[in-house]
Amino acid sequence: MVNSSQRIFYSILMRKKDCERCKNSFSKLYRVRYIKSVKNWVFICESCVPEVKQDNKFYKYGGTWKG
């Protein structure tokens, strides 16, 4: 069981990154490629994944990052 002071400690330790598309910060992002001419991997949030994945033959999932 986690008490309130432990929750605060764990939340401080949680790292966050910004979503490449919406620029909001998240502690869980998906590493993807979705543009033919761009070979670099980018991190996008769960909300942006369906937008870039739908009908996109260049979409490639590369793992999940958790802060």
Residue 50, pLDDT score: 97
Q: What is the pLDDT of residue 48?
A: 97
What is the reported pTM?
0.77
Residue 28 lies in a domain: yes
8 falls within a domain: no
Q: Strand ranges (DSSP E) for the chain?
A: 17-18, 25-26, 28-33, 42-44, 60-66
Confidence of residue 1 (pLDDT cuts 50, 70, 90): low
Q: Which range marks the domain in which residue 59 is found?
A: 15-66
Asked whether residue 58 is domain-assigned, the answer is yes
Task: Count up the domains in the chain and report the number.
Answer: 1
Q: Which is nearest to 51 in space by CA: 67, 34, 29, 39?
A: 34
Q: Is position 7 within any domain? A: no
For 3-49, the pLDDT digits (tens) are 655 655 655 667 899 999 999 999 999 999 999 888 899 999 999 99
